[in-house]
Chain A
Amino acid sequence: MLTDEAKLNEIIEHWKRDSSYLIEMLQDVQAHYRYIPHPLARRLAEELDVPVNRIFHIATFYKGFTLEPRGKFPIAVCTGTACHVKGGTRILENILRDLGVEREGQVSADGLFSVESVRCVGCCGLAPVVTVGGDVYGQTSSVKISRILERVRKAEQAH
């Protein structure tokens, strides 16, 4: 599915080929592929007749985009202020260690997870907050998240 051009065309047509909706188009690409594949970024530039560096400028400027694939279950650790004071940053470090990855964005060896910090999910009343594959876990802890990850791993193995 990596260079599914039909999908890209669908996205471009949906936004009526209007380059002022470039950010929206990239969001749709990101939502579909979970990252912005290089070949698609180039195709998009050609189709809209904008310089390719503008696409990469946008894709690197905004936090919502990533240029490398994420894990099957992306983990987002909220490090908004409320989560920070309740230990969110420590949870992030502990997940990195748990996954055996060096840095945020890197996919774990089994391909299941990647972790990154996000600035405020908007559930500050539930701090600290972590999302795993889109599910929100509030008032959580390193130990609880590690159990959740273990559960996901087991469920995936069973498949």
Chain B
Amino acid sequence: MPKLKIEDLDRISQQQKRSMSLREGAGRVRITVHMGTCGISAGARKIMAEVLRCLEKSKATDVVVTTTGCAGLCSREPMITVEVRDQAPVKYVDLDEKKTSRIFEEHVLKGTVVKDYALAVGSEQTL
């Protein structure tokens, strides 16, 4: 191990940041993959893998990926919801890996909603 210089602190921080930022709160964008039984059987696992692959490739540190249960629209699975901070969440339906990658590129990274795959903007009202 060569002697650590002050600049190296930044380098190590940066390397760790992506993994550590997960522990520090919500992030700028939150991607939720719907993983109910229906979602999984429709291929949600592949979508999840693709989301994680895109995330890894982009080296983004402010994106949080979570799962949730069935969204109640089983016929349109697999689905994801993309929620940019302070904006209404967008639900995407009938996904495959290619579509997922495009959503990641355009909506998650650049902030433009991909209208072609979007089901709706906003969520149903809850309590």
User: Direct contact between A and B in the complex (CB less than 8 angstroms)?
Assistant: no
Which residues of B are at the interface with A, using a C-beta cutoff of 8 A? none
